[in-house]
Amino acid sequence: MMIKNNVGTCVHGMSHWLTRVLSGVAVGAVAISCASIAQNESSNAPVSYEISFDNAAHHEAEITVTYRDLGQAIGNDPLEVRMSRSSPGRYAIHEFAKNVYAVKAEDDEGNPLTIKRSDPYSWHISGHNGGTVKLTYTLYGDRADGTYSQIDLTHAHLNMPATFMWAKGLENQAIDVRFNPVDTSWKVATQLRPTNNPYVFEAPNLQYFMDSPTELSDFDLREWQVEDGDGTMYTMRLAVHHDGTREDVDTYLEKAKAVVAEQIKLFGDVPNFDYGTYTFIADYLSYVNGDGMEHRNSTILTNSRALHDAKFSQLGTLSHEFIHAWNVERLRPHELEPFNFETTNPTPSLWLAEGFTSYYGPLTIRRAGEATVSEYISDLSRQLSWIVNSAGRQYASPQEMSLRAAFVDAATSIDPTNNRNIFTSYYPYGAIIGLALDLEIRSRFEGKTLDDVMRQLWKTNGKSEVPYAPDALIGAVVDVTGDQSFAETFFNESVKGSSLPDFAPLFEQAGVVLRLKNEGEAYVTPGRLDDEAKIRNNTVVGTPFYDAGLERGDKLIKLGNRLIENQDDLKKAVARYKPGMTVKVTYLQRGQVKTADLTFIQDPAIELVTFESLDRKVSDQQQRFRDSWIGEDTQE
């Protein structure tokens, strides 16, 4: 099913951003009409792509890109065509050119053109005389996630930077693309602008085109409407390519609608979705890789488990990614604007862009009634314990952790790293900062919450699409609380620094106890042994294994007098001791048998438990605080 534009939708749905990129003028330009945006359906854009899948069984696509009237843009200079090295929503290098081959070029009369290469990412085409270049190439793709492309006889899952070449100097040219499906059962799910042809779409420029992942398959489609405060209606689309039943999609739809409504309530506004639509593009198949990736008016959702088999847990990724429609797509760090397809895209603000999104993803599911209080608190407990006990926090702040995204965001390397000790992911780290700030504001400033701060950021930087600086949170907190000192202190200590507040009294306000999970139990390592009793991962600073000199790859032989042959042996051995006790540990390290003193410590794991689970009464004040924070629970 194809959603067609109408003049009303286009005018009201056009964002300040779309006005800017289509008109080619600075921020503040007057919006142009739909008639001037839409191209004649029969005309050819300056840049035209066509993609076919004749060899889909072997994961190949044949792609043609035609560049017209080159004299206006580059004269007679060689045309430089490139494959991207990065992708919107990803912050590390991904070498997409490695899957491109059989590259050929010709002019508009079919004469071959000369192609020269001096690096792995680009092709320089000369002899076009300012006219037309028709470039063809073969693409291999067999990974379906938020970064790469997968082509087979069931679908074409296309991430644009992993699929399509682009030309230097033509980034602001309008684009059209024609998809030639394997069979007529394939439909197209994309945020690209539709035309009268269900397989032809348009983009105003390269930035929008590359940000528009596309799924071709026989997917199940569901739609519903949401209304903005000014009465503008937007169409939400859920396109699910899966092996389940239509009833599964119907169930998932109702859960998605509840979460979407809760997130609109959180921000108090619906983003101005370009062309009046937002599309969830989901692949839930055994041969895809789990992921989620946000885009301006759509998101990619992939999971190797079916909806029913996973008990609809895919809702967590959907919730996270849709928050990005506000937080990161429009409320955007200035370092990411515009996105650079040739290198990494670093920003020190991922603790906010990804971390606060990770805080609100589960929270809005809870508020929407799609998780119980117990389920939410249990999940939050694991995340809090991980961050509080993270060794990485002693090495770097959330801002500095954000800058390590280039090394960890699906990046690959063959040499070992020490990330278990020096890196704390900005996703859960930022989520816990969001939690801390929310609880602090609620406890200090009556009637004020982090929700108010997010709405303020949306008002100042999101709705207007003015990219924000790394310290933008300070101003928003001051606007909400009126307390400059509190805002600056929190930011300096917990964002520029690595401090976390005393969470126990903050949770007490909600009738939740923070305590040691295994009080009185001995502890040696957060890692595990493999089947040969070798330590799988780097040992962690401050743990008994680390202090005793053991490291990744070492083979345990004895702990005290007990032989260690596997993980279960280690668990049973540790259980015989108490924190503070010391024993001999014998191990094999790079061919040498070694012995060291090992002193057990208290298991540092913490947990959150509700008053009710401890048979303690929740006061009316605590209940009001809890309900305001995570919503009333009707499912317990």
298-315 pLDDT, tens per residue? 999 999 999 999 999 999
pLDDT, position 261: 98
- Statement: residue 479 has pLDDT above 60: yes
Place of tokens 């999970």: 517
Average pLDDT over residues 99-127: 97
pLDDT digit string (tens) for 147-200?
999 999 999 999 999 999 999 999 999 999 999 999 999 999 999 999 999 999
Q: In 39-99, which ranges are E strands?
A: 47-52, 60-67, 79-82
pTM for this model (two decimals): 0.92
- Statement: residue 10 has pLDDT above 90: no
Place of tokens 């200590």: 493
Contact 281, 344 (CB under 8 A): no
pLDDT, position 540: 98
pLDDT, position 120: 97
Element (H, E) at 233: strand 233-242
Average pLDDT over residues 26-31: 28
Task: Map 173-218 to HEC letters.
Answer: CCEEEEEECCCCCCEEECCCEECCCCCEEEECCHHHHHCCCEEEEC
- Statement: residue 43 has pLDDT above 70: no
Q: Which of the residue ranges 37-51, 542-556, 614-628 would you say has the lowest mean pLDDT?
A: 37-51
pLDDT, position 413: 84
State yes or no: cis peptide before 467, omega within 30 of 0: no
The closest alpha carbon to 448, from 435, 434, 438, 458, belongs to 438
pLDDT digit string (tens) for 354-388?
999 999 999 999 999 999 999 999 999 999 999 99
Tokens for 64, please give them: 């043609």
- What does the radius of gyration of the chain's CA atoms come to, in whole angstroms? 27
Q: In 130-184, which ranges are E strands?
A: 133-140, 150-151, 155-158, 166-167, 175-180
Instruction: Give 635's pLDDT tier (boundaries 50, 70, 90).
Output: low
Average pLDDT over residues 134-148: 98
Instruction: Give 16's pLDDT tier (boundaries 50, 70, 90).
Output: very low
pLDDT, position 36: 33
- Statement: residue 555 has pLDDT above 90: yes
Averaged confidence pLDDT in the chain:
93
- Buried b / exposed e along 41-50 (16+ C-beta atoms within 10 A): eeeebbbbbb
pLDDT, position 14: 35
Average pLDDT over residues 55-67: 98
User: Sign of the CA dihedral 317, 318, 323, 324?
Assistant: positive
Contact 10, 37 (CB under 8 A): yes
- Statement: residue 5 has pLDDT above 50: no
- Statement: residue 7 has pLDDT above 50: no
Q: What percent of the chain has pLDDT over 70?
A: 93
21 vs 166, which has greater pLDDT?
Answer: 166
The closest alpha carbon to 99, from 179, 146, 161, 189, belongs to 161
Q: Classify strands 277-284 and 298-303 as parallel, antiparallel or unpaired.
A: parallel
Instruction: Give 412's pLDDT tier (boundaries 50, 70, 90).
Output: confident
pLDDT digit string (tens) for 557-609?
999 999 999 999 999 999 999 999 999 999 999 999 999 999 999 999 999 99
- Statement: residue 41 has pLDDT above 90: no
